[in-house]
Structure 1
Amino acid sequence: MPPRALSARRRPPSLRDVADLAGVSIKTVSNVVNDHPHVRGSTRDRVRAAILEIGYRPQVAARQLRTGASGIITLAVPSLTFSYFSDLSQQFIDEAQRRGQTVVLHSTSAGPEAERTVLEGFQRIFGDGVIFNPLFLAEEQLARMQRTTQPTVFIGEHLPETLPQGSDYARIDNRSAAYDATRHLLATGRRRLAFLGVIVSRRGQQPHSSGTLRRDGFLAALAEQGLPGGEDVIQAVEDWHRPHGFTGAEALLDRCPGLDGIVCANDDLAVGALAALRRRGLRVPEDVAVIGYDDTSDAPYASPPLTTISPDKAALARTALDLLTERIQGHDGPPRVIDTPYTLVVRESTAAPTEATTQER
C-alpha cells in the first residue's frame, strides 16, 4: 500500500497496513512485533522498516486481550516534589524497562481522596497492577479492606499490620535506620541531640508515619545511653521541604542552647537546617553535626557534604516489581512483607569534633 494512500486515512495504521507494505502475512508482522525468534532476518528487517514508514504502534488493549497482560503498571506516590520520590520513581522506571514493562506515574498529592481513588482501582482499571505509597489514608481504612481491586504492592510506612488479600508490602525499617543514624552521632561524642521532622497532623490527615518511626528510632538510641529524650528535643514541622528544615532548626536552636547534633527526618530538612546553622554562625560539624535520611542526589554536594541514611532504592524497586509480577501472574497467597536494606553513608557533616578540627587545619 503506498504511503500516500495510508496518510489520507484518519484511522491509525494497523497490522494489515504493515503487512501490505512489507509484502508479508499479518501473522508474520505479529511475530515481529512480539519479538518471536522464528522470523528470517531479512523479513524482520523489512517488517520493521514498514512499521517505521507508516508509524504503526501496537495497541495496549489488543495485547491485553491476547495475553491477559498489558505490560503496564502504575506507580502511585505522594509527590514528585520530594527528591526521594523522584529518585525512587526513576529506579522503578529503569527496572521496569529492563523487564519490558512500562511505568505510569500517578501523584496523590491532592490528599486522601486521590489515595482512595488508587486504592479503589481508579474509575477504570488501567494496566496490570499498582505499586502504591499511601500517606494520608487512615490505617483503619486499609485494615478494613478485605481485598485490593487489582494486584497491589505497598511501599512506604503508613500501613496497618493486617494487609488486604491480593497485596504485598516492600519496606525499609525506618525505626532501625534512624536508630543507627543516632548511634553514629553518639559515637562521635555528641550528647545533646535533637530530632527534626515529625509532621504535625493537619486538615484531618494522619501524621506522617515515616517521621514518627524515625523519631522512635532516635529516642530508642538516646534511651539506650541514658540521655534525655523529652518533647523539647523533638521538633515538629509542617512538611519535609527545605524551608521547613530552616525554620525547624532555628526553633531548636532557640529552645536548646548547646545543641551539638541534629538528626533530620530527610535530606531536604537537613539542607534547610545547614542553612539555618550558617545563618547563626555555627560551624558544621565542629559546633553542630547534622545527619539526613534518603541520600538524595544533593546530599554529596551540600555544604558540607551530608551524612545520611541511604535506602537501597534499587533493591526496593526490584523487590516490589518481583512481588507485583507474581501477583499479576496469579499468585494469590497471603500478603507478604519484605524488608529491603539501607546503609549509613558517612560524610563531612558528622565528622567527630577532633577530626573536623584536624581537617580544618
Structure 2
Amino acid sequence: MASESPRRRRPPGLRDVAELAGVSMKTVSNVVHGYARVRPETRERVQAAIDRTGYRPQLAAQQLRTGTSGIVTLAVPSLTFSYFSDIAQHFIDQAQERGRTVVLHSTSAGREQEVEVLEGFKRRLGDGVIFNPLLLEEQYFSTKEELPQPTVLIGEHVPDRDLPAGSDYVRIDNTRATADATDHLLATGRRAFAFIGALPTDPTVHPHGSAPLRIDGFRQSLTRHGMNPDRAPLQQVDNWHRHDGRSAAHVLLDEHPDVDAIVCANDELALGVLAGLRERGRRVPQDVGVVGYDDSPEAPYSFPPLTTISPDKTFLARIALDMLIERIDGYDGPPRIVTAPHQLVARESSRAATLDA
C-alpha cells in the first residue's frame, strides 16, 4: 500500500495570530499595519503571537496599504564579473539595514534590456531601480525628460549632465583613480609602461565609458611625469575577462618585450595578465609591476597579491540607496551627482623592483 504523501503545512495567517492572542483578526491587522488605536497591552500580546507563529504579512497587502513594496531593483550588466557580484552584496547588506529587499536583474550587457530598465520594465519589479548601464549612448539620456520610476544610476557609462528628471547618479572618478595607479607604478622607478584594456569600440560613442576614462587617467599621469604617453602601448582586448588579459600579455610581450609596468583596466584582466607573465617567464614584481582596478575579492589571494584601485563600494551602495529611498518617499528635486571615493591598495604585484634586484 502506497504511503500517503504528507500534507504541506500552510504558512501562518492572521487567523492563527488572532486565535493565539485572543483578539479579532481586525485587531491583528491594525497591529501589523502600525495603526495607533490599539492599546499597548493588546499590541504586545499580538506581537508576541506574531513572533511565536512566525507570521509574515503578505507583500501584496503591504502594497495596497502603503503603495510601496519595500523592494528595490539592482540592474547590472552581468553577475559573471566579480565586481558586479561584489557590488550586489554591498547593496544587499545596505538594503537590509534599511528594511528593504534587493531584487537582482541582469541586462546581459544588452542594449534592448537596458532600454527596458529605463522605460520602467514591462512588469514593475519594485519601488525603484539602481541601474548600471553599459551600452546606452549619451544621446539617449538627453532624450529622456523624466523617468517613469525613481532611479539612481551608477557606473561610468552615464553623462555628467542632462540627466532625466527623477534620477540621480553616483559616480567614480575613473580618470583620477587610474592616474593614481599609474603614479604609484612610476614611484617604483618603472619607465616602460603599457595599458591593457582598450576596447575595439569607438570611444566617441561612449565617451564616459570605463575604458576611455581609465586610458585618459593613464596618459595624464605619464604626461605629468614628463613621459610621452604616445610611446606607451594601449593593448586592445575583446572583453575584460581573465582569458583576455592572459592573451593580451602574450601579445604585448611579443611586440614590447622591454615593458616593466602594466596598468590594467580591471582586476579580471590583471589576474589574466599575471598568468600570462608567468607563462613567459616574467617575474612579478621583479621584472614587471602590475596594477588592477576594482579590488575584487580575488585580488588579495592572487599570486602575487594584486595591487589595485579600490572604489568605496560601501559608500556607493549606501549613498545610492539613500537617494533612491528619498525619491521613493517623494523627493522630486533636480538630479544629484555624487562622487564615491577610492583608494589605491598596494600589494606585492607592484613592489619596487630594486628591492629584489
In structure 1, what is the equivalent of residue 192 of structure 2? 192
Could you tell me how far 1:15 is from its partner in structure 2?
2.6
Structure 1 residue runs of 4+, over 6 Å off? Answer: 7-10
2:229 alignment partner, SS class: coil
Could you tell me how far 1:142 is from its partner in structure 2?
1.4
In structure 2, what is the equivalent of residue 158 of structure 1? 157
In structure 2, what is the equivalent of residue 73 of structure 1? 72
1:85 correspondence with 2:88: no
Q: CA RMSD in A?
A: 2.3
Q: Tell me the alpha carbon deviations over residues 99-130 of structure 1, each in whole angstroms, 9 at most, x when there is no partner.
A: 10000000011500111110110013221100
Q: Tell me the alpha carbon deviations over residues 233-259 of structure 1, each in whole angstroms, 9 at most, x when there is no partner.
A: 101111111000001111111111210
TM-score (norm 1): 0.89
Alpha-carbon distance in 2 for matches of 1:33, 1:18 = 11
The 1:80–1:9 alpha-carbon spacing in structure 2 relative to 1, beyond 3 Å, is: closer
1:230 alignment partner, SS class: helix
Write the mapping of 1:247-326 to structure 2, written as runs, cut at 5 A. Answer: 247-326=247-326
Alpha-carbon distance in 1 for matches of 2:34, 2:198 = 51
Could you tell me how far 1:212 is from its partner in structure 2?
1.3
Could you tell me how far 1:14 is from its partner in structure 2?
4.4
In structure 2, what is the equivalent of residue 4 of structure 1? none
Alpha-carbon distance in 1 for matches of 2:33, 2:280 = 62
Is the CA contact (8 Å cut-off) linking 1:232 and 1:255 kept in structure 2?
no
The 1:189–1:231 alpha-carbon spacing in structure 2 relative to 1, beyond 3 Å, is: closer
In structure 1, what is the equivalent of residue 147 of structure 2? 148
Write the mapping of 1:4-23 to structure 2, written as runs, cut at 5 A. Answer: 14-20=13-19, 22-23=21-22
1:184 alignment partner, SS class: helix
Write the mapping of 1:1-361 to structure 2, written as runs, cut at 5 A. Answer: 14-20=13-19, 22-33=21-32, 38=40, 39-50=42-53, 52=54, 56-109=55-108, 111-160=110-159, 161-201=161-201, 209-230=209-230, 233-357=233-357
Is the CA contact (8 Å cut-off) linking 1:199 and 1:207 kept in structure 2?
no
Alpha-carbon distance in 2 for matches of 1:133, 1:231 = 34
Is the CA contact (8 Å cut-off) linking 2:310 and 2:342 kept in structure 1?
yes
The 1:23–1:308 alpha-carbon spacing in structure 2 relative to 1, beyond 3 Å, is: same
The 1:147–1:208 alpha-carbon spacing in structure 2 relative to 1, beyond 3 Å, is: closer
Could you tell me how far 1:31 is from its partner in structure 2?
5.0
The 1:35–1:259 alpha-carbon spacing in structure 2 relative to 1, beyond 3 Å, is: farther
Is the CA contact (8 Å cut-off) linking 1:155 and 1:169 kept in structure 2?
yes
Could you tell me how far 1:207 is from its partner in structure 2?
8.1
Alpha-carbon distance in 2 for matches of 1:40, 1:59 = 19
Is the CA contact (8 Å cut-off) linking 2:21 and 2:45 kept in structure 1?
no
Could you tell me how far 1:353 is from its partner in structure 2?
1.2
Alpha-carbon distance in 1 for matches of 2:336, 2:195 = 32
What amino acid does structure 1 have at the position aligned with 2:137? A
**79-88 or 246-255, which deviates more:** 246-255
**165-174 or 33-42, which deviates more:** 33-42
Alpha-carbon distance in 2 for matches of 1:343, 1:278 = 27
Could you tell me how far 1:98 is from its partner in structure 2?
0.6
What amino acid does structure 2 have at the position aligned with 1:321? L
**221-230 or 268-277, which deviates more:** 221-230
Could you tell me how far 1:25 is from its partner in structure 2?
2.3
The 1:9–1:258 alpha-carbon spacing in structure 2 relative to 1, beyond 3 Å, is: closer
In structure 2, what is the equivalent of residue 3 of structure 1? none
Could you tell me how far 1:309 is from its partner in structure 2?
0.4
1:262 alignment partner, SS class: strand
Alpha-carbon distance in 1 for matches of 2:312, 2:171 = 10
Is the CA contact (8 Å cut-off) linking 1:247 and 1:276 kept in structure 2?
yes
Alpha-carbon distance in 2 for matches of 1:16, 1:131 = 38
The 1:198–1:36 alpha-carbon spacing in structure 2 relative to 1, beyond 3 Å, is: farther
TM-score (norm 2): 0.90
What amino acid does structure 2 have at the position aligned with 1:230? D
2:190 alignment partner, SS class: coil
> Any unmatched runs of 5+ in structure 2?
1-6
Q: Tell me the alpha carbon deviations over residues 121-149 of structure 1, each in whole angstroms, 9 at most, x when there is no partner.
A: 00132211000000011121112111111
Is the CA contact (8 Å cut-off) linking 1:197 and 1:265 kept in structure 2?
yes
The 1:58–1:42 alpha-carbon spacing in structure 2 relative to 1, beyond 3 Å, is: closer
Is the CA contact (8 Å cut-off) linking 2:17 and 2:49 kept in structure 1?
no
The 1:185–1:113 alpha-carbon spacing in structure 2 relative to 1, beyond 3 Å, is: same
Alpha-carbon distance in 2 for matches of 1:330, 1:146 = 18
Alpha-carbon distance in 2 for matches of 1:36, 1:197 = 57
Is the CA contact (8 Å cut-off) linking 1:168 and 1:323 kept in structure 2?
yes
Query: Identity of paired residues, percent?
Result: 60
What amino acid does structure 2 have at the position aligned with 1:329? D
Alpha-carbon distance in 2 for matches of 1:89, 1:33 = 30
> Any unmatched runs of 5+ in structure 1?
1-6
Alpha-carbon distance in 1 for matches of 2:127, 2:208 = 29
**162-171 or 226-235, which deviates more:** 226-235
Alpha-carbon distance in 1 for matches of 2:237, 2:50 = 59
